[in-house]
Structure 1
Amino acid sequence: MTTVWNAAPMPSFPPTFADQVIAQPAPAQFEAFLDEHRGALNGCLDGLTEEQARRSLVASRTTLLGLVKHATFVEKVWFDQAVTGRSRAEIGIPARSEESFILDDGDTIATVQHAHREACEASRRAIRSLGLDDILHGHPRGPLPLRWVYLHVLRELAQHCGHADILREQIVNA
C-alpha cells in the first residue's frame, strides 16, 4: 500500500534578510553584509554615556568608542588607501592599526559615530564603479582583488562586532 501525503502548502513568510541578499548581484550582497556589520558596530554606542563608551575592561586599548573609531580607520585603509593609493598621512589616519584605537579628548559618541558613518559612505562611493575582480593597487600588501578586500573587511567587522557585544554586555549589566 502506498501512502499519499497531502501536505499543506507552506505558509507565506515575509522575506528575510537572507532572501533579500541572495536575490541581489554579488557586489550588492557583499555591501549588504558589510552594512549589517557597520550598522551593528556603530549602534553599539547607542544609549551609553560617554564614560561607558570609554570604559576599558580589557588590558588592551579596546573600548566601545575605540572599536568604532578603529572601524573608521579600517574603512579608510581598505576603501580609500587601497583604491586611491593615497598614503595614510594624506588620508589623515594613523600609520599603525593599533594607534587607531586611541581616543582623543574630542572623541565623543556623536563625533565618532558621525565619522564612522561618513567613512562608510565614502567607501561605498569609492568602489561603486568597481567589479569584484578589479585589482586594487594602493595597499602596502600589494595588489588585491576587491572581492578579497570585501571579505577581509567583513571578517574584521564581524570580529569587532563580537568584541563590542561582549564589552557592551559587561558595561550595561555592571
Structure 2
Amino acid sequence: MEIHVADERAQLEARLDEQREQILGILADLDESEARERLVPSLTTPLGLVKHAVFVERVWFHSRVAGVPRAELGLPDSVDDSFVLTAEDTIETVSRSFVDACAHSRAVAADHDLDEQFSWRRGPVDLRYIYGHMIAEFARHAGHGDILVEQLKSQRT
C-alpha cells in the first residue's frame, strides 16, 4: 500500500508495513531447504532473517512499547540467537509468527502517541523513533534477503 499524502503517523505506518511485506516476501519463492541455506559466514539465512524480524517486532513493540519483560516473551538474550533455526521452524511457522507479531505490534502502537517516550539502553526514544528504526532495520534485512534469494535462484540453474 503506497501512501503519498497523509499525516505523519499514516506515513510511518505505511512505510513500515511496506518493509514488513518485503521481509515476508523473502520466503515467497523458496523451498524449505533453500530457506535454511547459509550462503554467508554469519548465521544469516532467508528463514533466519524472517525469524529475526519476529524478534525485532517483539523487542521493540511487544516489550519496549507494551512494557512486557523480554523474558516473559521468551526472547533470546542475544541478537545472534534470534537467527538460530530449530527443527520446528518452517516457512509456514516462521511466516505465521511474523504476521502475528506484526498484527500485535500494530495493536500495541495504536494505543500510543508518536511523542510518547519509552526506555532504551541508549536513552529514551519516542514512538516516532521506533517507527524509523524499524523501517531502516527491515529495509536493510530485506536487502540482505534479496541478495540471498538471488544467489539461491542462480544455484538452481
- TM-score by length of structure 1 reads 0.85
The separation in 2 between residues aligned to 1:140 and 1:92, in whole angstroms, is: 19
The separation in 1 between residues aligned to 2:94 and 2:138, in whole angstroms, is: 16
2:83 corresponds in structure 1 to: 101
Match status 1:64 vs 2:46: yes
Which runs of structure 2 are paired with 1:20-35 in the superposition (5 Å)? 21-35=3-17
Match status 1:163 vs 2:135: no
Which runs of structure 2 are paired with 1:117-128 in the superposition (5 Å)? 117-128=99-110
2:73 corresponds in structure 1 to: 91
Residue 161 (structure 1) shift: 0.7
Q: Give me the CA root mean square deviation.
A: 1.3
Q: Which has more radius of gyration?
A: 1
The separation in 2 between residues aligned to 1:155 and 1:146, in whole angstroms, is: 14
- 1:101 corresponds to which letter in structure 2? F
Residue 129 (structure 1) shift: 2.4
> Would you say the 8 A contact 1:27–1:131 is kept in 2?
no
2:26 corresponds in structure 1 to: 44
- 1:145 corresponds to which letter in structure 2? D
1:149 corresponds in structure 2 to: 130
- 2:28 corresponds to which letter in structure 1? D
Residue 86 (structure 1) shift: 2.0
Residues 61-94 of structure 1: per-residue CA shift (max 9 Å, x gap): 0000000000000000111111122221111111
Identity of aligned residues (%): 45
The separation in 2 between residues aligned to 1:142 and 1:39, in whole angstroms, is: 30
Mean CA deviation greater in 126-135 or 158-167? 126-135
The separation in 1 between residues aligned to 2:107 and 2:86, in whole angstroms, is: 28
- TM-score by length of structure 2 reads 0.94
The separation in 2 between residues aligned to 1:130 and 1:110, in whole angstroms, is: 31
Residue 162 (structure 1) shift: 0.6
4+ aligned runs moved over 4 Å, structure 1: none
